[in-house]
Structure 1
Amino acid sequence: MIPQTFEQWKSCIINDCKINLTRQFAQQRIAVYRDRKNPETEKFVSLYGEQHLQNIINWYSLVLKSQ
């Protein structure tokens, strides 16, 4: 399932993936996803598309704002 909302995504990350959404983790992920030449970002876009990439960046930004 690809999350469609921030709450779905957050639940997936925390509960399913067992990842703590720390400030440091969010900053690291944003740096990766904003780097269009990063192989991980290129693969992400090829699998999930541009819109989902923008959603993910926005959702990590929300994590930063909430901490």
Structure 2
Amino acid sequence: MADDTERYAAELIPSDYASWRYCIEVKCGLALKPGFLRSRIAVLSDSSHEETRRFARLYGDAHLKRILAWFRQAAAEA
């Protein structure tokens, strides 16, 4: 990741899993702990949840699916 740190820092929207982790852990300062991951997966998996609908409106369904997949990948690695 060290080689791509500048790219990750410059991205406004993460383009891949490593960039997403950098965004969450470095830019946002959040720890990807199991409880946090489970709660985000639950919300983003619920198409009736207002937060999920808002995310899909702002970023599109394809990006929502990518983000959800990255949360699931992080959960599998935890």
Instruction: Answer 1 or 2: higher relative contact order, Cα 8 Å, separation at least 6.
Output: 1
Q: Percent identity?
A: 34
Find the partner of 1:41 among 37, 48, 52.
52
Unaligned runs of 5+ in 1: none
Unaligned runs of 5+ in 2: 1-11
Runs (4+) off by over 4 Å: none
TM-score of the aligned structures, taking structure 1 as reference length = 0.96
Output the CA distance in 1 between the equivalents of 2:64 and 2:15: 12
CA RMSD of aligned residues (A): 0.6
* Structure with max Cα Rg: 2
**SS of structure 1 residue aligned to 2:56:** helix
TM-score of the aligned structures, taking structure 2 as reference length = 0.83
Instruction: Report how far residue 52 of structure 1 moved.
Output: 0.7
